[in-house]
Amino acid sequence: MKIYKSTSKNFAYFLYRLISQIFDPIKFLHGIYGYVWYIRDLLTYKTMDAKAKIFGLNLFPILNEKTTLTSFDAHYFYNPIWAFNRIVKNKPKEHVDVASDYRLSGYLSTFIKTTFIDIRPIKTSLHNLEIKKGSALALPYKDNSISSLSCLHVIEHIGLGRYGDPIDPNGTIKVCEEFKRVLKKEGLLYIAAPIGKEKVCFNAHRIFNPRTIINFLKPLTLIEFSIITDSDKYIENTEPYEFNNENYACGLFVFRK
């Protein structure tokens, strides 16, 4: 979530968030411009290869990728790298991931027997990777049964209805209770979530003061904290309470039971 210094820019961004769900004016304007160069490029290609069959149903315009920089989301770039490195280093016999980016589970499964759980499971078949349909609020495991557990950029959504889950203001608290229930003694929990000035950005996500997440997961012990700041800087092994005033940073927490 972007926060600008200018009040007028923040209001304009607010209006854009509302309107873009049914009509994206920025994409529309880019599309008009895009078709100008698309037709130009199409005609140029055709003059260079007259035999090419590229008209009619073969047309497939992609108009928003002529950029000087590749689109980059620091949260989703750094947080799976952070988790992957630590999980592999700790060498658990098995690892369970709850609804993070499914690619993390795929990569982990090349080293570790991995289970990926989501209310919207993926359809795939990989050796060492098990897919389970399930809710983060009711994990299909007994008490004290998981030694290695991750959940990246998920707990902030629970209970907001964004993904078809029931509305529940206490959704994050309940999922933290569920993690504490299934985690073994000495087990490790890897959590990534937005941190900074605490607020609910309905129905996208919540932003937490770091202390809130730590309190939700007591009596688990925080053993490491890293962060991706508002300026997209990745800082490892730092102090969580120094970042209470971020707007939309990503806190990376490792807890032990």
Q: Are residues 80 and 51 in the same domain?
A: no
Under 8 Å CB-to-CB from 111, ≥6 apart: which residues?
A: 88
> Would residue 103 count as lying in a domain?
yes
User: DSSP labels for 127-144?
Assistant: TTEEEEE--TTS-SS-TT
Least confident of 16-25, 82-91, 185-194, 214-223: 16-25
Please check the confidence at residue 55 and state whether its pLDDT lies above 90.
no
Q: Are residues 172 and 198 in the same domain?
A: yes
> Would residue 49 count as lying in a domain?
yes
Q: Are residues 33 and 107 in the same domain?
A: no
**Residue 199: CATH number of its domain:** 3.40.50.150
Percentages of the chain per state (helix, strand, coil), in multiples of 5: 35, 25, 40
Q: Are residues 34 and 134 in the same domain?
A: no
The pLDDT tens digits for 110-129 are 999 999 999 999 999 999 99
> Would residue 124 count as lying in a domain?
yes
Q: Are residues 48 and 134 in the same domain?
A: no
Q: Are residues 127 and 202 in the same domain?
A: yes
> Which structural domain range is residue 166 located in?
74-256
Find, among 112, 136, 114, 138, the residue nearest to 124 by Cα: 114
Q: Are residues 32 and 110 in the same domain?
A: no
State how many domains the chain has. 2
> Would residue 24 count as lying in a domain?
yes
Residue 121: its pLDDT value, please?
A: 92
Q: Are residues 168 and 90 in the same domain?
A: yes
Cis before residue 203, ω within 30 degrees of 0? yes
Q: What percent of the chain has pLDDT over 70?
A: 100
Q: Are residues 209 and 110 in the same domain?
A: yes
Say if pTM beats, i.e. exceeds, 0.85: yes
- Mean pLDDT for all residues in the chain: 95
> Would residue 63 count as lying in a domain?
no
Q: Are residues 51 and 142 in the same domain?
A: no
